[in-house]
Structure 1
Amino acid sequence: MPQTLSTQLVQSIIHYITSQSLPVGARLPERALAEHLRVSRSPVRAALAKMADDALISRHPEGGYVVAEGALACPPFIEPVKSNADEIYFRIADDRLNGELPEKVTENELMRRYSVTRSLLNDILMRIHHEGWIERLPGHGWLFAEPISSGSAYNESYRFRKIIEPAGILEPTFRLDEARILQCREEQAWLCDGAIFSVTPAQIFDANARLHEAIAACSGNMFILDALRRLNSVRRLMEYTKAVDRDQALRRCKEHLVLINLLLEGEQEAASDYMRMHLSNASREKQLN
């Protein structure tokens, strides 16, 4: 069964509910969710309907949906359904990184290249758009973001992160979003408990990016958060297509748990130093020549 965009959005909506600490009964406006997730309202509407059918949220008597206990009880990480859509998604990522897809493409070209229906291709393109590495051109076609495709650029990205991420923890506007950080800790603990050896590279990247972006958001400095989000969107392809050393990935998740505990204990200076060390370790382990 193909994994449609609306199915993928269920996880994003659950993450939104938990990261925003929304209580049972809180309204879930369709338009606001669509704007937050950077997608059209149609797949959000379908995702909300599916969530209501699965008792994750409830239908409001006056229309729309509200948070239910089911959403709050969900595990932090939902296993995606493996599908033909996933296969095509990763083929597009691999072809783009290897220079086999041009910067500008049309839907007809992609349909022919990957022997896919327009409906399924649209779901895949919207997933890519939601992740930030393609944009719809006015009128016709799509434009890929320039990926980080060389070893030197990849290593530069880590040096840049070592400048902004430790500094963000020391910003005078830093305020810990405890609920969001605890959600990330649960996800990292789940990976450390063995899931790291079975999930996909995309899942590992997304879980780790969620944590680092959550910490950047706590800085209160919108430029730090925006810079990290943009960087993650362009390095995503390199991470997806690299061979993953699961033992190294496990060590990084364990370091994440130490970092989270320092933040929860209010040890900002120690957390900043640890962040710098953590990024240095990751850069060294992932060093590209």
Structure 2
Amino acid sequence: MMEKTIATRIVELIKNERLTEGARLPAQMLADRFRVSRSPVNEALALLHEKGIVSREKNRGFFVAKPVVESLSDVVDELGLAETDVITSVYFQIAEDRLKGALPDEFSEQLIRNRYGLTSAQLTAVLTRISQEGWAERKPGYGWQFSTMLTTPDSLLKSYRLRLALEPAALLEPGYRLDHKVLVHCREVEKHLLAGGIETDTADQLHDRGVRFHESLVEASGNGFFIDTIKRVNRVRRLLSYRSMKHRERYVEHAKQHLHLLELLEHEKNDEASEAMREHLLHTLDSLSRISEILEP
């Protein structure tokens, strides 16, 4: 069920961001972060309230009831959310089959349900996630259709070239301001990665952390056009991004570059930060071009 999927992601967020007792969990913030409506987020928060992970205060919303210190898998099992492991597994299998050309451009729900042995609830959860992430959509009337975007190595490189034009410019916007709390959190995430997270984090976690870093820096521009564009690009590039994570050694240099960017922005050296962002994205483009064979169908 979808609320279980969202509930697991909320628990993961509490753990990864080391949220302490009393930390607020705004439903709209979570909905924006997970790219879903507020309804499933509220259902997931209510579920976690029943299980004692979050607390609810009248007219104020939900708050962390206790920090999550155990391993995520143990917490998920203990809370009875383990069904989401099936959904995540099937999600990645569908992504891999799509990239290999094993699935047609157009497909029925019955095809996916039978091929991957899903229940109705699991099918809905998997297709909802795929749809939200932009690489498939429901056709008018009957059936589904995969997006033609981002199914080749070249399309991933094109998405980075768009980012190369956009992100350095965002750092030069008049009135650019990166909130200190956001900067501190971004720095803690990069330090976590360099301390071992690159090897131990899931593909989902690695992708989401990279996305949040870049979106946070663009959001500080206050320019809605920049923000909307970068979020759209990140949503649809996810499919090929997962495959590139088979070569995680490149993330060490990425994390160091991210920390350097934060240092420049902290000291309001936005001209230097813009150039550093350009060099960072060019470095990523070069890295991806050298591993393009793993992105081939």
1:1-289 matches, within 5 Å, as 4-11=4-11, 24=22, 28=26, 34=31, 37-39=34-36, 43-53=40-50, 55-61=52-58, 65-68=61-64, 70=66, 83-138=85-140, 140-242=142-244, 244-287=246-289, 288=292
Q: Aligned AA for 1:187?
A: V
Q: Quickly say closer, same or farther: Cα 1:177–1:137, change in 2 above 3 A.
A: farther
Report the AA paired with residue 48 of structure 2.
M
- What is the alpha-carbon distance in structure 2 between the residues aligned to residue 154 and residue 267 of structure 1? 30
How far, CA to CA, are the matches of 2:282 and 2:137 in structure 1?
A: 32
Deviation at 1:95, TM superposition (A): 1.6
Change (3 A) 1:28 1:217: closer
Q: Which runs of 5+ in 1 are unaligned?
A: none
Moved more, 269-278 or 232-241: 232-241
Post-superposition offset of 1:55: 4.8
Q: Distance in 1 between matches of 2:280 and 2:125?
A: 36
Query: What is the Cα deviation at residue 254 of structure 1?
Result: 1.5
Give the secondary structure class of the aligned counterpart of 1:66: strand
Which residues of structure 2 form unaligned runs of 5+?
77-81
Aligned partners of 2:68, 2:184: CA distance in 1, in Å?
Answer: 14
CA distance change for structure 1 residues 131 and 182 in 2, over 3 Å: closer, same or farther? farther
Counterparts of 1:34 and 1:167, CA distance in 2: 27
The number of aligned residues is 278
AA matched with 2:158: E
| Seq. identity, % | 33
Amino acid in the other structure paired with 1:65: G
| C-alpha distance 99-35 of structure 1, shift in aligned 2 (>3 A) | same
Give the AA of the match of 1:188: E
For residues 41 and 258 of structure 1, do their structure 2 counterparts lie closer, same or farther at Cα, with a shift above 3 Å needed?
closer
Moved more, 267-276 or 234-243: 234-243
**Alignment RMSD:** 3.3
* Alignment partners' CA distance in 2, 1:280 and 1:169: 16
In the alignment, the residues of structure 1 paired with residue 156 and residue 31 of structure 2 have an alpha-carbon distance, to the nearest angstrom, of: 32
Whether the aligned pair in 2 keeps the contact of 1:5 and 1:124 (CA below 8 Å) is no
- Return closer, same or farther for 1:282/1:195 CA change in 2, 3 Å cut-off: same
Partner residue in 1 for 2:79: none
